[in-house]
Copies of this chain bind each other. A is one copy, B any other.
Amino acid sequence: MRLAVLGAGAVGRSVVKLAGEHGHTVTAVADSRGAAIDADGLDPETVLSRKSARGSVGGADPGDALAAEYDVLVEATPTTLDDAEPGFSHVRGALDRDRHVVLANKGPVAERYGEVRRLEAESEGSVLFEATVAGAIPVLGTIADYGPDQVTAVRGVLNGTANFILSRMAAEGLDYEHVLAEAQDLGVAEADPAFDVEGTDAALKCVILANVLGNGGYTLADAEVSGIVDIPPSALSLAQADGRTVRLVGEATPDGIRVGPRLVPTESPLAVGGTENIVQLETRHAGTLALRGRGAGGDETASAVLADVARLEC
């Protein structure tokens, strides 16, 4: 397939780097400052080294990438809330031209799911978004194969940064501020960690899951969200004394969309350590499926993007 990649952050760059291994060609790449476009296929190394040397993938107008020749638009620009722009317009642009869209950007399917599905219904193109939920973990593919009607609830640890902080606080008896600083040093937490530690990122994933299971109707405003900022180390030691630990658990169930710190038994599958993610799917006839792996990272998330591209080929 010919891919146009919008966004040249960690995920977009990894898609450019790995596309060839899967037999695909990248015909356009854009970041906020420029674009590289070649209908015959770009050389990944040239594009990526220009990006690191000069800060942009190429000298063309970024807006031209959307209009380039491609079969699949990979939307990997940063997630934005509310109107989910410019991601939403990118999705519309590709679908209007009957092209497929694979999203790594959560905005359009968290905040404007119904509109995305309506545009898709009028297009020859399809929209997939495995990469928006739990990175490398094949959550949405599994739900699609087993049938959204067959999945009665989803529950999981969906943010690696928050999980790293909670794991370290529990293991070392350190307070939140101290571990956050450490996570920032390690590159596990962003300079502005609010999106992760306040639960927004996990909530967006739960909203997307609720939309998939319920065929739309939810936005971030429907989620009941609390983060991990106010958890004292004493709460973790109390939990530990009781054979439990605290995890930031997100859920999409018939009772609603909720994200918050929860006590879980240390032996529970939900008590993953470090930056790992886990997603539990409760099914009507197949019990609980637990899917565990890396929930973030450029190559990991790009693998999910490329899995979606493979599904579009079938």
**A residues within 8 Å of B by Cβ?**
14, 18, 21-22, 130, 135-138, 141-142, 144-147, 149-150, 269, 283-294, 297, 299-300, 302-304, 306-308, 310-311, 314
Contact = CB atoms under 8 A, between A and B. Distances in A.
A136 B307 contact: no
Nearest to A150: B303
Contact of A310 (B21, B145, B289): B145
Contacts of A269: 292
B150 A146 contact: no
Contacts of A146: 138, 303, 306-307, 310
B310 A138 contact: no
Contacts of A291: 289-292
A21 B149 contact: yes
Q: Quick one: which of A138, A145, A293 has the most chain B CB within 10 A?
A: A145
A297 B311 CA distance: 28
A288 B283 contact: no
A272 B291 CA distance: 14
Given A138-B138, A142-B141, A306-B147, A286 B292 contact: no
Given A149-B21, A302-B285, A292 B290 contact: yes
A174 to B, nearest CB: 22
Contact of A144 (B22, B147, B149, B310): B310
A116 B312 CA distance: 25
Given A136-B283, A146-B303, A292 B289 contact: yes
A294 B269 CA distance: 14
B285 A300 contact: yes
A285 B137 contact: no
A147 B310 contact: yes
A314 B147 CA distance: 13
Contacts of A135: 286
Ranked 8 nearest A-B pairs via Cβ: A136-B286, A286-B303, A145-B307, A285-B299, A290-B292, A289-B293, A287-B294, A286-B300
Given A150-B303, A283-B303, A314-B314, A289 B145 contact: no
Contacts of A285: 14, 18, 299-300, 302-303
B293 A290 contact: yes
Contacts of A22: 147
Contacts of A18: 285
A138 B145 contact: yes
Nearest to A144: B310
A141 B143 CA distance: 11
A294 to B, nearest CB: 4
A293 B287 contact: yes
Contact of A289 (B21, B137, B284, B306): B137
Nearest to A290: B292
Q: Quick one: which of A21, A286, A304 has the most chain B CB within 10 A?
A: A286
17 contacts: A21-B150, A21-B284, A22-B147, A136-B286, A138-B142, A141-B141, A142-B142, A144-B310, A145-B311, A146-B303, A147-B306, A147-B307, A283-B303, A286-B294, A286-B299, A286-B304, A290-B291
